Chain A
Amino acid sequence: RKEVEQDPGPFNVPEGATVAFNCTYSNSASQSFFWYRQDCRKEPKLLMSVYSSGNEDGRFTAQLNRASQYISLLIRDSKLSDSATYLCVVMGGGSNYKLTFGKGTLLTVNP
């Protein structure tokens, strides 16, 4: 099983749609989880950290399910500017700083 597996996509949605990204991880000791956004030919940038209790930032909601080793990102009322690749990131547990990325899911929001 891969360390981090992500929905392959791509997703094409109309403006205003709700879209969900899912990611599973294999190491139950993993401590920290993130969603990054990457625009074409640019470096990834942090979108959200993912907390055990779930967290929301405007139109974006991140969830963590430790029992199922699963994280998710929900985008509501999608905008054209949300078009990008979304990457889930998992950090190893304890003193292990290893950061592992999923392969990313390309989202295209259409007018």
Chain B
Amino acid sequence: DGGITQSPKYLFRKEGQNVTLSCEQNLNHDAMYWYRQDPGQGLRLIYYSQIVNDFQKGDIAEGYSVSREKKESFPLTVTSAQKNPTAFYLCASRSPQVEAFFGQGTRLTVV
């Protein structure tokens, strides 16, 4: 089945650790996105990529890094510089004339 897959579903991070969230799509979409959602809040854009080997900062990129080495994959690293990383992270993909499809999300908790 075509779709977008995020893993893991739940992730626990110790203070000072970097963690990487996975996002894979087999929809042949050009663009991929990472959003962060805090309780009762909307989605805030972290990074997006319109094409392989290129990505743009969103509104809250500080403390995060991404790579886009393959069209299918857009991993997000939450670095130790991100001071408040506990949130729900959503990955999405789309192509022109097509709506964005989302993965099921990763809930990250700092312990």
Q: Which partner residue on chain B sits nearest A106 by CB separation?
A: B40
Task: Give the contact-size bracket for chain A.
Answer: 20 to 34
**How many residue pairs between the two chains, A and B, have CB atoms under 8 Å in the bound complex?**
49
**Interface hit among B41-49, B63-71, B77-85:** B41-49
The answer to whether A44 and B102 touch across the interface, beta carbons within 8 angstroms, is yes
Cβ-defined partner of A97 (8 Å) among B41, B48, B99, B104: B48
Q: State how many angstroms separate the Cβ of A108 from the closest Cβ of chain B.
A: 14
Q: Which label, helix, strand, loop or mixed, suits the secondary structure of the B interface?
A: strand
> Chain A 42-58 against B: per-residue CB contact (8 Å), 1 yes, 0 no?
11111001000000000
A44 contacts across to B, CB distance below 8 A: 43, 90, 102
The answer to whether B92 and A99 touch across the interface, beta carbons within 8 angstroms, is yes
The answer to whether B58 and A101 touch across the interface, beta carbons within 8 angstroms, is no
The answer to whether A98 and B35 touch across the interface, beta carbons within 8 angstroms, is no
The answer to whether B103 and A43 touch across the interface, beta carbons within 8 angstroms, is yes
A6 to B41, CA, bound (A): 12
Q: Which of B48, B56, B99, B103 has the most CB of A within 10 A?
A: B99
Q: Does A65 touch B at the CB level, under 8 Å?
A: no
Q: Does B13 touch A at the CB level, under 8 Å?
A: no
The answer to whether B50 and A103 touch across the interface, beta carbons within 8 angstroms, is no
A97 to B35, CA, bound (A): 14
Q: State how many angstroms separate the Cβ of A58 from the closest Cβ of chain B.
A: 18
Within 8 A of B (CB), among A58-111: 87, 89, 95, 97-104
Residues of B near any A CB (own CB < 8 A)? 30-31, 33, 35, 41-45, 48, 50, 56, 58, 88, 90, 92, 94, 99-105
